[in-house]
Structure 1
């Protein structure tokens, strides 16, 4: 999917649309006008995530939606609207309870929740996924299930069998079989990196600059330490982020890269231990972060077979099609 850079006017853009797709998270709201073939006609974003609404309660969701997309919706009063993300959480506009794995996009459509504005406009909200096997701890995702659906929409070859890795604050490793998410695991890699860098002694020396080659070498060193680690080494290895700086073995400007490599490396050690070695790996997420994970996966001998940017619009299109909202 590509964003059309030039549209004659908001009204004209909306009149050519078949769907309004909302990716509504904790800190942001992104809206996409999609054509009948699924390509993006126009896109907008605001900071009105569910924790930053302009008003409390239902009025806040309606006000945020109107502020961002009111002219589009006025131009096409019957335009279907679908949404995913934290808007369907218990703190969202309308809760869409988790659906158990295995689940395909049709399963999400069957269990969709519906929010309705004061004017009577209906918004279909995708549910999240629950993986709750009897022999392991439960896990959940909300929003990533639509990104996975979008990746499969863009690359149907992955639907038969694949492992999809979605890096982020809470990275997901999802197993797909026959277009269904059959299981997944979460690694708090991004949140750990942010917390350790900003709120522990490890961040005290992370200052100054470093050459690109020094930063790349520090990241590679973190990956290698993770790969060579034994049981229980992780907590001990973390302190090396400080001692490498204290001893001058790494410049302050490269210490964050070492920590990043260590955290991502341990995530990959765990993820690959559970992934099907015969199934292709695919990355879904922000380009810069996916580049870092692609480097890491290659260092572990399992490069990603495909890399996707934002697949939420494609996933929401597939969700709307499964709902029967697209003619």
Structure 2
């Protein structure tokens, strides 16, 4: 990573989520010159409302704007949600980076420059239920810019609180499926009877047996079996079949396994599409291990692609020079 003393920045990009705010100072090639972060996500602002967003932005980026007052600013993530600074309405699938740029929302920063906020994406099939993403579309744009070969056809998996399986064709998000895997794990382990036998000191298994058993049970389960299988997180501990330290990983394996059963069934409808993981390194490794149990190997594993995606969004919006990559 270079420093802003060596190269003049052309963009300030904000990845603004629920629990954190990250700011990337970027050069004309989309290289991150400097990264800063704060805990001022949209649910943890210095004060409520618009003034809270202005204060969070000023605290993290005020000196950058003072030094480069004409620097364009873009943002993605939950900052554009109904609970954000301003709502950037969803655009519908099929969606690409140019559509995101055309339908961006704009807010006054309170420091001079406007902030261009990326919208989320809506998948609303006529014969199914609607699904939404906000923030993941920017990560996908970054991944496709870094790996243009994926633009023709790919399945991009973004593990997390609400995991996404997004299907790409001709540089566009054509469909996606969300799974509340991470949130279910948090709720069930902290606020249900399943957590009563789990260690309170955070100790977890070391040999992976609980996780592997959870994956195996998910894979062999039939339709509608999940509520029954979840209770095994308690009974395996009560009967001594699994040590208490293995119960969190059993639950994790069961939930991730169920996600993979469904996600891979969707992937089967697009044979030959490479599967790509994007996200936190430790979580992606867990998904890699789970996929290996299903005899699937990802074509690539990427961590933080948001800066590159935000740069592509700025290019598509005409804020910085360059040709936007396919998305």
> TM-score category by the smaller chain?
over 0.9
> Partner of 1:102: helix, strand, or coil?
coil
What are the equivalent positions in structure 2 for 1:35-50 lying under 5 Å apart? 35-50=27-42
Structure 2 residue corresponding to 1:193, chosen from 168, 185, 205: 185
1:89 aligned partner: 81
User: 1:113 touches 1:126 (CA, 8 Å); kept in 2?
Assistant: yes
Partner of residue 166, structure 1:
158
Give the match's secondary structure for 2:319.
coil
CA distance in 2, matches of 1:217, 1:280: 29
Question: Superposed, which structure 2 residues align to 1:281-296 within 5 Å?
Answer: 281-296=275-290
> Which residue of structure 1 lines up, in the alignment, with residue 297 of structure 2?
303
Q: What value does the CA root-mean-square deviation take over the aligned residues? A: 1.3
Query: Which residue pairs with 2:52 in the alignment?
Result: 60
Distance in 2 separating the partners of 1:185 and 1:194: 20
Q: What number of residue pairs does the alignment pair up? A: 317
Which segment drifts farther, 48-57 or 63-72?
Answer: 48-57
- Per-residue deviation, 1:164: 0.4
Deviation at 1:231? Answer: 1.2
Q: Partner residue of 1:24?
A: 16
Partner of 1:127 in structure 2?
119
> What SS is found at the alignment partner of 1:239?
helix
CA distance in structure 1 between the aligned counterparts of 2:319 and 2:181, rounded to whole angstroms? 37
2:306 aligned partner? 312
**Structure 1 residue 140 corresponds to structure 2 residue 105:** no
The reply on whether 1:278 has 2:308 as its aligned counterpart is no
Structure 2: give runs of 5+ residues left out of the alignment: 322-327
What do residues 8-37 of structure 1 show as CA deviations (whole Å, max 9, x unaligned)?
A: xx7x37x62111000011111110111111
Aligned residue among 102, 114, 124 for 2:106: 114
Q: CA offsets per residue over residues 66-101 of structure 1, 9 Å max, x none? A: 100111111111111000011111111111100000
For residues 114-134 of structure 1, the C-alpha deviation after alignment (integer angstroms, 9 at most, x for no partner) is: 111334311000000000010
Q: Report the TM-score, using the length of structure 1 for normalisation.
A: 0.94
Which portions of structure 1, spanning 4 or more consecutive aligned residues, are displaced by more than 3 angstroms? Answer: 208-211
Q: 1:268-308 CA deviation, whole Å, 9 max, x = no partner?
A: 00001111231000001000000000111111112111011
1:135-176 Cα offsets, whole Å, 9 max, x none, are 110000000000100110111111100000000000000000
Q: Give the gaps of 5 or more residues in structure 1.
A: none
Are 1:245 and 2:237 counterparts? yes
2:260 counterpart of 1:268: yes
